Structure 1
Amino acid sequence: MDRAALTQFLEDEFQQVAQMFAIDDVAPMTATIRLLNDERHLRPGGTVSGPAMFALADVSVYLAIMAMIGPKALSVTTNCAIDFMRKPASGVDLICETRLLKLGRVLAVGDCLIFAEGHDAAVARASLTYSIPPDG
């Protein structure tokens, strides 16, 4: 699936969160997804919350997988580990650079680095495993 198809898939299947994200780039085994800056993602102190960063990593790996295998909406997260390394800059989008490390028949593993737009140091790193439903 290309960027346009992934955007449409997200809008069709996940209307509740589709407007939170933008797909910056998609290529074989990689995707760059953006969490659009919004006050609802902030925690006290004005920093982006951990759950919002988790959502960005989760959606990023999910979309990278869909780009490779097509629209299998029932693929699900089976594991996630996330390291929050520094406070993100406030008032900017977060950008997740995702790389699929393994894409098998039933499992996929992805690695993410999350950056605050305009900053070089990653604010979080995540590793996620997905279960892919069998055909049929």
Structure 2
Amino acid sequence: MTPAEIQARVHEGVPLAALFGIEVVSAGEGVAVLRLPPAPLLLRPGNTLSGPAIMGLCDVAIWAAFLTATGGDDNARTQHLAVTFLKPAGPGPLLAEARIVRRGARVVYADVWLRAEGAEAPCGHCTSTWVVVA
């Protein structure tokens, strides 16, 4: 799937991702980079992105990486998602670099590194397990 195809699928499947303006920057076998553009709706006090916006970006980024690994098959759902906030993300834009670490018959393990666009140091790290349902 191309980044544009994945983005269309993500926006259709998770309308909140479209509302947030999440963009699929790049995608390859089991990896995807997504971008969350700046938006006042997504900020919390302190002029930084809110935790729910960041966690939503992580979950969608993992789904995008999963779609690249399965050729578009959507047979897994989030079982567990944990985000470690290393420092404030700032007001955006934010990049999420997702990768499928291990894809078993019943469980998929993935992680996401988060960076403010233009920054080298990460502002967060996410780990997640997904369960295959079909």
Q: 2:10, 2:60 within 8 Å by CA — same for their partners in 1?
A: no
CA distance in 2, matches of 1:13, 1:71: 13
1:19: Cα distance to partner? 4.1
State which drifts further: 12-21 or 24-33: 12-21
TM alignment of 1:72-91, pairs within 5 A: 72=74, 75-90=76-91
Which residue number corresponds to residue 115 of structure 2? 115
Q: 1:9, 1:71 within 8 Å by CA — same for their partners in 2?
A: no
Under a length normalisation based on structure 2, what TM-score does the superposition of the two structures give?
Answer: 0.90
CA distance in 2, matches of 1:48, 1:66: 26
Under a length normalisation based on structure 1, what TM-score does the superposition of the two structures give?
Answer: 0.89
Runs of 4+ in structure 1 over 3 Å off = none
Q: 1:23, 1:32 within 8 Å by CA — same for their partners in 2?
A: yes
Are 2:68 and 1:67 equivalent residues in the alignment?
Answer: yes
Which residue number corresponds to residue 103 of structure 1? 103
Please tell me the root mean square deviation across aligned C-alpha atoms, in Å: 1.5
Query: Structure 1 counterpart of 2:47, which letter?
Result: G
Query: Structure 2 counterpart of 1:31, which letter?
Result: A
Percent identity between the two aligned chains: 25
Q: 2:47, 2:90 within 8 Å by CA — same for their partners in 1?
A: no
SS in 1 for 2:105: coil
1:17: Cα distance to partner? 2.4
**How many matched pairs?**
132
1:130: Cα distance to partner? 0.8
1:57: Cα distance to partner? 0.7
CA distance in 1, matches of 2:11, 2:69: 18
